[in-house]
Structure 1
Amino acid sequence: MTDYLPVPNPTKSFWLTAEVDFHDHRSTAELPAEADIVIVGSGYAGTTTAHFLMEEGFDGTIVMLEARDVCSGATARNGGHLKPSLYYSQKSWTKKFGEKGAAEIANFEFAHLAAMKELIEREKIDCDFVFGRSCDVHLTSSAVNAALENYQQFTKNPYITCKHDVQLHVGENAKTISHVLDSEVCVTFTAGQLWPYKLVTSLLRKCMQKGLNLQTNTPVLGSEKFEDKWLVKTARGTILAKKLVIATNAYTASVEPRFLNKIVPIKGICSHITPKVRPSHLSHTYGIRYDGADQDYLINRADGTVVVGGAKKHIFPFKNVFYNVVDDSTLIPGTKEYFDDYMKHFHDWKFTETETDHVWSGILGYTDDSFPYVGEMPHESNKFIIAGFHGHGMPRVLLSAKALASNIMGKELEVPAAFKISQERMTKTRNEILASLGTPVARL
């Protein structure tokens, strides 16, 4: 479905100021006629899947197809925030999956912290990785109530193994710890930050050195079964794959039409802000919560700059500008102004002049039930998917990719049950995205 392919000339994110020398690389001038595994997508999901396949000992041919330049989608456009969701969704998760299922998700996300640190140190990747504490600030009465109720649910769940890491602060302590004087409640826990484009392109370079065939600017238009293999159709011809991996996140409907209205492209906005005079360094990264799904996120980089994303209160009332939109070549009007005075939330930045020197858009893959689709496609052997990370991929992709690589090699898929693709999930017709965003109708 060409309507869901990435558009040319996307906005340039701050992360892409470190663009690699192989950004438009093709390992061979022509597409190989066949491959053992074809991976569609060169971002976080596709690249880590390739990495873990090689780590598992796979020694066949892997071809990676990318519609644009390498790693030019959501991975190069997110906020660089490795922040697990541990407590804030516990009520809804418990209602859907019970205490064990809710704990499974929280424990899985928390495990990404150690897994990412281990990967970066073992592979010696320079990507500005920093561990610290994240601080969720709650600025409305409904956000405060939700935090308290979910935290209570979190603390009483006997299956959660990371409770020791999460701390609730109220009153004056919350204001002091958060640096936000309007915050009556804040919650802190371990989180990380990094340069996501550097992480993924460093891993991808290593995969290419081990034999991966990368083909950029090669949009995939679909696939069809051919005997016991998959004929992958591209704008440059076809390639026959023994196994096919779809790692296309928001653009999945372009490759696999069955995901129309199941993985929906959502246009988001992010920014890079530089202070004119460097104030005191913020001691946390942040989630800043308002009503419902309205929240922003922030990382405080070691160079004194910050990356802030979200602007949901500015975007989400207007369905036509963000919902089912794949165009990341333009900005939503007014978003730069949203970020220009943003740092005045923090009392020690009140009188600091800042410059919003980068603003960019990116396309997130939201799913109909808010969880990613991971695993082998029902009734379609040897076709696998790892996509639909609902704007929350940093603490979900890495171990999902590791599990999928093992699954492709014939082992059990070890991800939370909520993430596993199933016939039941594929046939469910209810789409919960707009309701979860508080956008029941479109406004112009």
Structure 2
Amino acid sequence: MGLLDLVQKTWKTLRTAIKTLLDLNRTFEALVSRIHQGACLPCPEPTTSYWLENPPFPNLVDIQSAQLPTKTHNVIIGSGITGVAIARTLLQQTNRKNHYIKITVLEARDICSGATGRNGGHVKVAPYEAFDALERKFGRERAVALTRFQLRHLEVLREVCESEGVEGAECRGVETVDLFLDDKVFEGACRVVERMKTLLPECEVKVFQAAEAREQFSTNNTVVGALSYEAGAMWPYRFVTSIWNTLLQEYPNQLTIETNTPVISIERDPAGNAYTVYTNRGIIHCNHVVHATNAWLSHLLPSFMTKATGVRAHMSAQNLGYHSYQTFHGNRSWSIIYGENDYDYMTQRPSAKGMGDIMLGGGTFRSKDDGVNQIGVWDDSCIDALTSAHLAGILPVVFSPDKEARKPEQQERFLQQHWSGIIALTADSLPFVGKLDGRLSGRKSQRHSAGSSEWISAGYNGQGMVFAWLCGTALAVMIMGLEEENIPASPGYPGGILSEWFPKELLLDGKRFDRIDILDLADQLYNGPGTNLFKVL
């Protein structure tokens, strides 16, 4: 090799490195720009979610009054699982005390068409992963309390379904199996499981080494180990719409639901006595405004642009076909773990023959720029092709034998449906729950009024099924000012004083608000290893 060849090769390598750095910088700048733009109104024509088809209550899909109510006590923005938990608790507890309130629920699109109607139906928290992350942040005692709060959701949601006869929700306990494809990550998880035995004895986690895992769960040699424990699965849209239907029947003069009624803006009376909510159909005057909008919170709360952002996530519904991995059942769910904070998740609808549709989601790392282009995005009207292609290929790669003879009678597996949905990513990976003062909401008044406030329960980081119901329930207790009351337990409500079951770390106050910044999380993504940014996507 001559001197000229060496110079040319060196320059080519340097030019490639410079281009890579410039591309990274442009990608990061684009990410920051999207985050700073904040949320818009939800897209009027989102991708079609499997869960929303054949609704059990067709009359609720686009329900609205002939005339928009002009006055109410509480406006709840959002008709998903958070909104219904808030409304149900407010109505039940105020009627228990013989108080009369009126609630108006405003939904930008059809009922329950946001994250609740588009997620994977997985009522699951990986206790070892949750505990490990929380312990590093809050210490051992609080990590136990926060993990237990998440684990409690399966019991609570099953109570509601059983007490109100919501059979269509298919709410059930399942054996969930985490299949590991990375030795190092599996070994780390096993170490945490061992430490948890005395701290969370009620959470039994079984460990399967490589050969046993492959035999037990009918996987191929890509799997290096597995953990199994109890979790849940359900049809969230049918659960939520069933509860709304019951509430409308029980409280016909106290509850109205206004779908296809996006909120344009909110104003507070200078005296602090009331709010005016502006919608595309008119205005509503109310005492309390409740933000149950999850990823869209910054649309009406611009100060939250740097505290949380939206992320486009993907789901698919797949028909099994007839293959050797046709051993799935509705009483089992899975996570397929490729590396640290990198996994997909899967449930199966129950069926008598074990042929229920597979609901498989995730794949965020597989999109362009390793998923960065999905952050700061609130557009669920389209899907990412690379992500959907990844989801379509998981089953045969992980569950088919390493060598499988094709038989003429085998029916091909196929992708029935794929869709996107927007989840919230908060700067400290925890939900925001509590009262919003004028500084946080941006709507200050000349004086404080106890009878007029804004509230929030949002920002679930893709873990809404193990946070949203009890967060919404807790917020309703705060709105009523009953935090110190020993409220009797009932289906869907734990009972007791609020602080006994609701973790203080989820409360949003000025100190927490000032401490966090979503760009710190973005910085970790680009400049440091070990980020938790994608742990739930």
Which of the residues 429, 440, 465 maps onto 1:370? 429
Which range moves more in the overlay, 173-182 or 344-353? Answer: 344-353
CA distance, structure 2, for counterparts of residue 35 and residue 145 of structure 1: 55
Is the CA contact (8 Å cut-off) linking 2:364 and 2:370 kept in structure 1? no
1:291 aligns with 2:332: no
Q: Please say which of residues 348-357 and 423-432 is displaced more in the overlay.
A: 348-357
CA distance in 2, matches of 1:258, 1:102: 29
What is the distance in 1 between the residues matched to 2:282 and 2:161?
A: 36
Q: Give the alignment partner of residue 417 of structure 1, picking from 500, 504, 518.
A: 504
CA contact (8 A) 1:109 1:396 kept: yes
Distance across 1 between alignment mates of 2:130 and 2:42: 31
The alpha carbon displacement at 1:138 in A equals: 1.5
Q: Which structure's CA Rg is the greater one?
A: 2
User: Conserved in 1, the CA contact under 8 Å of 2:39 and 2:310?
Assistant: no
State the Cα distance separating 1:232 from its structure 2 match. Answer: 1.7
Q: Distance in 1 between matches of 2:526 and 2:232?
A: 29
The one-character-per-residue Cα deviations of 1:62-85 (angstroms, maximum 9, x if unpaired) are: 000001111111111100111123
Provide the residue aligned with 2:399 in structure 1: 346
Query: Residue 268 of structure 2 aligns with which residue?
Result: 225
User: Closer, same or farther in 2 for the Cα pair 1:49/1:35, shift >3 Å?
Assistant: same
What is the CA RMSD across the aligned residues, in angstroms? 2.4
1:18 corresponds to 2:54: yes
In 2, the alpha carbon distance for the partners of 1:34 and 1:285 equals 45
Match of 2:7 in 1: none
Is residue 8 from structure 1 mapped to residue 44 from structure 2 by the alignment?
yes
User: 1:280–1:18: structure 2 CA closer, same or farther, 3 Å change rule?
Assistant: same
> What are the equivalent positions in structure 2 for 1:291-370 lying under 5 Å apart?
291-303=339-351, 304=355, 305-315=357-367, 317-318=369-370, 321-344=373-396, 345-347=398-400, 353-370=412-429
Q: What letter corresponds to residue 281 of structure 1 in structure 2?
A: F
Amino acid aligned to 2:101: G
Structure 2: which amino acid aligns with 1:300?
Answer: Q
Matched residue count: 438
The answer on whether the counterparts of 2:175 and 2:230 sit within 8 Å (CA) in structure 1 is yes
| Pair 1:253 & 2:306 matched | no
Could you tell me how far 1:438 is from its partner in structure 2? 7.1
Q: Per-residue CA shift, 1:138-179, capped at 9, x if unaligned?
A: 11134213312332343353xx3533x322222322333333
CA 1:162–1:60: 2 relative to 1, 3 Å: same
Mapped contact 1:319–1:439 kept (Cα < 8 A): no
Correspondence for 1:99: 140
SS at match of 1:280: coil
What one-letter code is carried by the residue in structure 2 that aligns with 1:216?
T
Question: In 2, are the aligned partners of 1:39 and 1:245 still within 8 Å (CA)?
Answer: yes
Q: Distance in 2 between matches of 1:213 and 1:8?
A: 22
Task: Name 2:317's counterpart in structure 1.
Answer: 272
Q: Which shows bigger deviation, 173-182 or 205-214?
A: 173-182
Shift of 1:309: 0.0
| Residue type of the alignment partner of 1:346 | F
Larger CA deviation: 76-85 vs 51-60: 51-60
Q: Which moved more, 1:396-405 or 1:408-417?
A: 408-417
SS of match in other structure, 1:18: coil
In structure 2, the residue corresponding to 1:4 is in which secondary structure?
Answer: coil
Structure 1 residues 207-231: Cα deviation after superposition (integer angstroms, max 9, x where no partner): 2222311111111123222132222
The answer for unaligned runs of 5 or more in structure 1 is none
Q: Which residue of 2 aligns with 1:213?
A: 256
- The residue identity in structure 1 corresponding to 2:366 is H
Q: Distance in 2 between matches of 1:48 and 1:439?
A: 39
* 1:426 Cα offset (Å): 1.1
Task: Give the structure-2-normalised TM-score.
Answer: 0.76
Deviations 1:377-434 (A, max 9, x none): 2457621111000001101111112211212111225421221111112112432544
Contact 1:267/1:321 (<8 A) preserved: no
Q: 1:317 to 1:156 in 2, by over 3 A?
A: farther
2:69 is equivalent to residue 51 of structure 1: no
**2:262 partner amino acid:** P
Q: Is the 8 A contact 2:39 2:309 kept in 1?
A: no
Pairing of 1:119-138 with structure 2 (within 5 A): 119-125=160-166, 126-138=168-180
CA displacement, residues 310-344 of structure 1 (integer Å, 9 cap, x when unaligned):
01221373456311111101111233322222212
Q: Structure 1 355/437 Cα, relative in aligned 2: closer, same or farther at 3 Å? A: farther
For residues 171 and 231 of structure 1, the distance between their equivalents in structure 2, rounded to whole angstroms, comes to 60
Q: 1:6 to 1:186 in 2, by over 3 A?
A: same
Identity percentage over the alignment? Answer: 29
Q: Which residue of 1 aligns with 2:216?
A: 177
Identify the structure with the greater strand proportion.
Answer: 1
Give the corresponding residue for 1:199. 239
> Secondary structure of the residue that 1:202 maps to in structure 2?
helix
CA–CA distance in structure 2, aligned partners of residues 393 and 285 of structure 1: 17
Q: Distance in 2 between matches of 1:225 and 1:161?
A: 49
Relative to structure 1, the CA distance from residue 316 to residue 363 in structure 2 (aligned partners, 3 Å threshold; closer, same or farther) is farther
C-alpha distance 316-91 of structure 1, shift in aligned 2 (>3 A): farther
Give the Cα separation in 1 of the matches to 2:264 and 2:219: 48
| Greater shift in the superposed pair: 427-436 or 266-275 | 427-436
Q: CA deviation at 1:57?
A: 3.0
Question: For 2:414 and 2:210, how far apart are their aligned partners in 1?
Answer: 32
Q: Is contact 2:127–2:147 with CA below 8 Å preserved after alignment?
A: yes
Distance verdict in 2 for CA 1:356–1:122, change over 3 Å: same
Unaligned runs of 5+ in 2: 1-36, 442-449, 484-497, 530-537
1:167 is aligned to 2:220: no
Distance, in Å, in 2 between the alignment partners of 1:16 and 1:409 is: 33
SS of equivalent residue, structure 2 residue 188: helix
Give 1 or 2: higher helix fraction. 2
